[in-house]
């Protein structure tokens, strides 16, 4: 099988360019046949992935952070959401600022260990992913997400993180943006349609989950499983500033669902209609303002893991 690695050299504050040497040496030592290409700009990984699959490449490996993974996954489908090659497989070597999907999928977050595991994998795992439909510049747009998408507080944090260029690497930029957003964010009035169930009220965020973690290790959805055919919806209700601060540790230890203002749902289709301006993020990348519709694509992605 032909394998191409798509590498984001700016991942981990540009350290990926140096780490790549160890990754490449590991793959060569494992006699793993591949070629590779570096991304040069945002959304370039989508173009490179589509070109690779059109050229007959059967396995595409995202080397970088969750944003790189998101772009490669999007590149495995055309603009209408149809797979370019339904038999193609996706691999992951994470070395970005988050690596949250890798935590759920059992992929080592150390890039050398991930490369070694990749070289020894002999089969794929069919996993779900999410499809988000929203409006951009007055036109309908779509974005696929492998891990988690959200509307509300988390997207505000992501937008603030991106404005800060993720300086510091790891979870530091996210945590800094989190603290700033806590003191500036105001909860929104929202109507959420979770399959046939209508939920409305003042909300901090609506988080649609295929994986368990976001924000560099926060376990927002401990019950999520990327191959169960559903999306888990975590609604953070009308949490005040003090409640957000005091319950942040719950996000790290996986007990956030025990809070009385946090509710978990399971659905195939979720429609979020805010009465006020609310921002959207997907796999840790800022998208823009809502509303948005989220749908599950069951077992539609072949993961090398």
CATH of the domain at 37: 3.40.50.10330
Each residue's pLDDT tens digit, 39-96:
999 999 999 999 999 999 999 999 999 999 999 999 999 988 899 999 999 999 997 5
CATH of residue 245: 2.60.200.40
Q: Where does a domain end: 96, 122, 148?
A: 122
Kindly state whether residue 257 falls inside one of the protein's structural domains.
yes
Tell me, what's the pLDDT at 113? 94
Kindly state whether residue 290 falls inside one of the protein's structural domains.
yes
Kindly state whether residue 305 falls inside one of the protein's structural domains.
no
Cα 20 to the center of its chain, rounded Å: 22
Looking at the structure, do residues 143 and 170 belong to the same domain, yes or no?
Answer: yes
Looking at the structure, do residues 52 and 92 belong to the same domain, yes or no?
Answer: yes
DSSP E strand boundaries for the chain = 3-7, 35-38, 59-64, 89-94, 125-136, 139-145, 148-152, 188-194, 197-203, 205-209, 213-214, 218-219, 231-236, 262-267, 269-274, 279-282, 285-289, 292-303
Looking at the structure, do residues 37 and 155 belong to the same domain, yes or no?
Answer: no
Looking at the structure, do residues 77 and 179 belong to the same domain, yes or no?
Answer: no
Tell me, what's the pLDDT at 168? 45
Kindly state whether residue 138 falls inside one of the protein's structural domains.
yes
Kindly state whether residue 23 falls inside one of the protein's structural domains.
yes
Each residue's pLDDT tens digit, 127-151:
999 999 999 989 999 999 999 999 9
Each residue's pLDDT tens digit, 81-120:
899 999 999 999 997 566 899 999 999 999 999 999 999 9
Q: Where does a domain end: 75, 95, 122?
A: 122
Lowest mean pLDDT among 14-23, 112-121, 180-189, 259-268: 14-23
Strand duo 89-94 + 292-303: pairing: parallel
List of residues 6+ apart from 17 with CB closer than 8 A: 9, 10
CB hemisphere CA count around 122 (13 angstroms): 0
Looking at the structure, do residues 32 and 63 belong to the same domain, yes or no?
Answer: yes
Q: At residue 165, does pLDDT exceed 70?
A: no
Looking at the structure, do residues 154 and 205 belong to the same domain, yes or no?
Answer: yes
**By the 8 A CB rule, do 247 and 153 touch?**
no
Answer whether 0.75 is exceeded by the pTM. Answer: yes
Kindly state whether residue 304 falls inside one of the protein's structural domains.
no
Looking at the structure, do residues 286 and 166 belong to the same domain, yes or no?
Answer: yes
Kindly state whether residue 51 falls inside one of the protein's structural domains.
yes
Looking at the structure, do residues 111 and 219 belong to the same domain, yes or no?
Answer: no
State percent of the chain over pLDDT 90: 81
Looking at the structure, do residues 192 and 288 belong to the same domain, yes or no?
Answer: yes
Q: Where does a domain end: 86, 104, 122?
A: 122
Kindly state whether residue 55 falls inside one of the protein's structural domains.
yes
Tell me the average pLDDT of the chain. Answer: 93
Looking at the structure, do residues 180 and 271 belong to the same domain, yes or no?
Answer: yes
Give the structural domain span for 144.
Answer: 129-299
Looking at the structure, do residues 153 and 107 belong to the same domain, yes or no?
Answer: no
Looking at the structure, do residues 163 and 190 belong to the same domain, yes or no?
Answer: yes
Name the domain count of the chain. Answer: 2
Each residue's pLDDT tens digit, 214-244:
988 899 999 999 999 999 999 999 999 999 9
């Amino acid at each position: 099988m032909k394998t191409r690695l798509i590498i984001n050299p700016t991942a981990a504050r540009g350290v990926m360019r140096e780490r790549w040497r160890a990754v490449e040496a590991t793959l060569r030592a494992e006699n793993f046949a591949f070629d590779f290409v570096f991304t040069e700009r945002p959304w370039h990984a989508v173009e490179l992935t589509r070109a690779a699959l059109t050229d007959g490449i059967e396995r595409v490996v995202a080397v970088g952070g969750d944003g790189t993974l998101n772009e490669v996954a999007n590149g495995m489908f055309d603009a209408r959401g149809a797979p370019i090659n339904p038999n193609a497989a996706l691999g992951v070597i994470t070395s970005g600022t988050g690596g949250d999907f890798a935590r759920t999928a059992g992929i080592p977050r150390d890039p050398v260990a991930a490369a070694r595991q990749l070289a020894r994998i002999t089969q794929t795992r069919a996993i779900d992913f999410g499809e988000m439909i929203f409006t951009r510049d007055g036109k309908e747009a779509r974005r696929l997400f492998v891990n988690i998408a959200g509307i509300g507080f988390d997207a505000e944090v992501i937008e603030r993180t991106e404005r800060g260029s993720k300086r510091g690497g790891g979870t530091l930029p996210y945590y800094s943006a989190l603290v700033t957003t806590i003191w500036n964010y105001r909860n929104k009035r929202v109507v959420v349609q979770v399959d046939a169930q209508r939920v409305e009220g003042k909300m901090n965020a609506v988080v649609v989950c295929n994986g368990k973690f976001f924000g560099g290790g926060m376990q927002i959805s401990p019950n999520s499983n990327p191959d169960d055919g559903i999306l888990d919806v975590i609604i953070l209700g009308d949490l005040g500033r003090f409640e957000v601060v005091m319950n942040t540790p719950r996000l790290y230890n996986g007990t956030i669902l025990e809070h009385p203002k946090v509710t978990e749902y399971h659905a195939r289709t979720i429609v979020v209609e805010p009465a006020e301006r609310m921002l959207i993020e997907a796999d840790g990348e800022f998208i823009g303002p809502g509303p948005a519709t989220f749908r599950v694509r069951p077992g539609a992605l072949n993961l090398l893991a």
